[in-house]
């Protein structure tokens, strides 16, 4: 069985992992959902990385699963702990020296999101980018559980000169409206030089498709 360290995205909380945690634990895996200091205006990237490393303390070769904004901080944590695998789940992929605030323009994110919405026949300014594939009640609770996201980590240049020496996989969510599939395939190819694995579901596939996501994680990290 594997130890999974689940790292939430910007303004989220450990709650957003609860359905995937239940599925992984049902299969015999251990899980730890990190609580990042996302509302702390004094917490920078170093503090996020330290929170991840502290949550993973004592685990053997853990699988780090980094969602969305956590793609920025999880690689930094891999320089502080002996991770067995880093899975970027529909996540941002940083570049050396690039502040996260500049990631959006550097990757062409806004244009990609608008193009995807227009292709679906939707108004880009009205589209639900996060919870469209969730049942209405779960979508309301997921939105209510969002927290504020401080600006502090966005201004720090990403400090590593190269990607850390850790086995890395990218898991693309095929129905993601916030990071559309064609967009994120290009970003992953350009920045990591790998082809993403794919799973059904939107940006919060851990809520909409926990069983399928657990299947994909098990395929990427076979049990010891």
Residue 209 exposed, middle or buried by CB count within 10 Å (0-12, 13-18, 19+): buried
pLDDT digits (tens, 9 = 90+) for 116-128: 999 999 998 999 9
pLDDT score of 222: 62
Q: What Å distances lie between residue 7 and 14, 32, 78, 114, CA to CA?
A: 8, 9, 13, 27
Question: CA separation (Å) from 76 to 5, 118, 128, 218?
Answer: 14, 36, 31, 24
> What's the confidence (pLDDT) of residue 60?
87
Q: What is the pLDDT of residues 78-109, one digit of tens each?
A: 999 999 999 999 999 999 999 999 999 999 99
Q: Name the pTM for this structure.
A: 0.96
pLDDT for 156 equals 87
pLDDT tens over the chain, length 224 residues:
899 999 999 999 999 999 999 999 999 999 999 999 999 999 999 999 999 999 999 998 999 999 999 999 999 999 999 999 999 999 999 999 999 999 999 999 999 999 999 999 999 899 999 999 999 999 999 999 999 999 999 998 999 999 999 999 999 999 999 999 999 999 999 999 999 999 999 999 999 999 999 999 999 986 55
The residue among 54, 13, 57 whose CA lies nearest residue 36 is 13
**The domain 3-220 belongs to what CATH superfamily?**
Alpha/Beta hydrolase fold, catalytic domain (3.40.50.1820)
Which pLDDT score is estimated for 152? 94
Could you state, in order of their start, the residue ranges of all structural domains in the chain? 3-220
Q: Do residues 189 and 131 touch, judged by C-beta distance below 8 A?
A: no
- Residue 133 CA to residue 176 CA, distance in Å, equals 9
């Amino acid at each position: 069985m594997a130890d999974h360290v689940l790292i939430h995205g910007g303004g989220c909380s450990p709650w957003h992992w609860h359905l995937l945690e239940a599925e992984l634990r049902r299969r015999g895996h251990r899980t730890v959902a990190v609580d990042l200091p996302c509302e702390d205006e004094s917490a920078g990237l170093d503090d996020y990385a330290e929170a991840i490393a502290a949550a993973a303390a004592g685990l053997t070769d853990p699988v780090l699963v980094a969602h969305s904004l956590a793609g920025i901080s999880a690689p930094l944590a891999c320089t502080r702990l002996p991770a067995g695998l880093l899975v970027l789940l529909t996540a941002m992929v940083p570049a050396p020296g690039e502040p996260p605030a500049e990631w959006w323009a550097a990757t062409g994110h806004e244009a990609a999101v608008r193009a995807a919405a227009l292709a679906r026949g939707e108004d880009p300014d009205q589209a639900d980018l996060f919870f469209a594939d969730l049942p209405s009640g779960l979508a309301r609770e997921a939105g209510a559980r969002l927290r504020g996201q401080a600006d502090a980590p966005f201004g720090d240049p990403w400090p590593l000169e190269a990607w850390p020496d850790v086995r890395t996989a990218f898991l693309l969510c095929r129905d993601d409206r916030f990071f559309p599939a064609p967009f994120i395939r290009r970003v992953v190819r350009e920045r990591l030089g790998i082809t993403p694995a794919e799973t059904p579901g939107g940006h919060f596939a851990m809520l909409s498709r926990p069983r399928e996501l657990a299947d994909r994680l098990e395929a990427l990290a076979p049990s010891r």
